[in-house]
Amino acid sequence: MSSPEPGHAQAGRALADPAPVFAALGDTTRLKLVSRLGDGQAHSIAQLTDGLELTRQGVTKHLRVLEQAGLVRSSRVGRESRFTYVPEPIEDARSYLDSVSEQWDDALSRLKSFIES
Amino acid sequence: MSSPEPGHAQAGRALADPAPVFAALGDTTRLKLVSRLGDGQAHSIAQLTDGLELTRQGVTKHLRVLEQAGLVRSSRVGRESRFTYVPEPIEDARSYLDSVSEQWDDALSRLKSFIES
DNA sequence: GATAAACGCAACCAGAGGGTTGCTTATGAA
DNA sequence: TTCATAAGCAACCCTCTGGTTGCGTTTATC
């Protein structure tokens, strides 16, 4: 019993510490990257750089951040590195937020029934 | 039309740019604070500091971050500042993650039906 | 084989972040 | 009124972050 709080541990996975995932999502550029990778296809760095107004190196850095948070996986194919979306961490983050909302709802209904009694 | 990607805009609110909310959640201490505030009660800074191994000033800074992200609201009552949970931003973040997952699922099923054809 | 494309590595920079300490101010309780 | 509690303000610290540039390396392509 020492997870970062949200009581009822929820159904699914363990989700050790969701903070790094949220931190990785806490940047507009990275959100765009995640979204673009959400199409299920593998994309090269050059591809992903296109449309974003920053250097390829900048994009690379962001991709490494996403990769370290487990949101994305990379593999070298020929002369390019292909990045693909990994769904699990976002599922985990989602269920974490679910548990927070649930906790909140429970607190509210308890409060309500207390007032009405 | 210039939101940070996820196509189908989703049902609910506008959710301008979810990045700041995720960034605010991207810290273990702040997650603990949010969770503790999720009980629906108002808590003073001293209360919230208790149990966390850092200074009251440190906690205050984190609370200001949460407040600026809209996750929390503060009001002065007597000599103490009371912080309370605000549910909307987390709802928004949740539905954003929903839209990402949905996009991913759609992509997968399209791929699958393409293979099978 | 020469050229171009796609990338990795390293250095560097300014600014934000997480944290502390010290001191002052407001408010409540004795 | 005096004393203790709760908090605000400001300065300071070090580290991480987002971004750049420059250059070297591998892989295609002509």
B interface with A, Cβ–Cβ < 8 A, is: 4-6, 17-20, 22-28, 30-32, 34-36, 38-41, 85, 87, 90-91, 93-94, 97-98, 100-101, 103-104, 107-108, 110-111
Query: Rounded to an integer, what is the distance from CA B60 to the centroid of its chain?
Result: 18
Portion of chain B with pLDDT greater than 70, in percent = 87
SS3 B105: helix
pLDDT digits (tens, 9 = 90+) for A74-117: 999 999 999 999 999 999 999 999 999 999 999 988 888 888 87
CA separation for the pair B46, B57 (Å, rounded): 10
CA separation for the pair B20, B10 (Å, rounded): 19
pLDDT-derived band at A3, boundaries 50, 70, 90: very low
pLDDT digits (tens, 9 = 90+) for B6-33: 544 444 455 679 999 999 999 999 999 9
CA distance A19 to chain B (A): 4
pLDDT digits (tens, 9 = 90+) for B30-49: 999 999 999 999 999 999 99
Of A36, A85, A111, which is closest to B5 when you measure between CB atoms?
A36
SS3 A21: helix
SS3 A83: strand
Binary contact (B35, A103; C-beta < 8 A) = yes
Q: What are the counts of helices (DSSP H) followed by strands (DSSP E) for chain A?
A: 5, 3
Domains in chain A (CATH in brackets) are 19-116 (1.10.10.10)
pLDDT digits (tens, 9 = 90+) for A37-66: 999 999 999 999 999 999 999 999 999 999
CA distance B46 to chain A (A): 19
pLDDT at A65: 98
Q: What is the mean pLDDT of chain B?
A: 89
Query: What backbone torsions phi and psi does residue A79 show, to the nearest 5 degrees?
Result: -95, 5
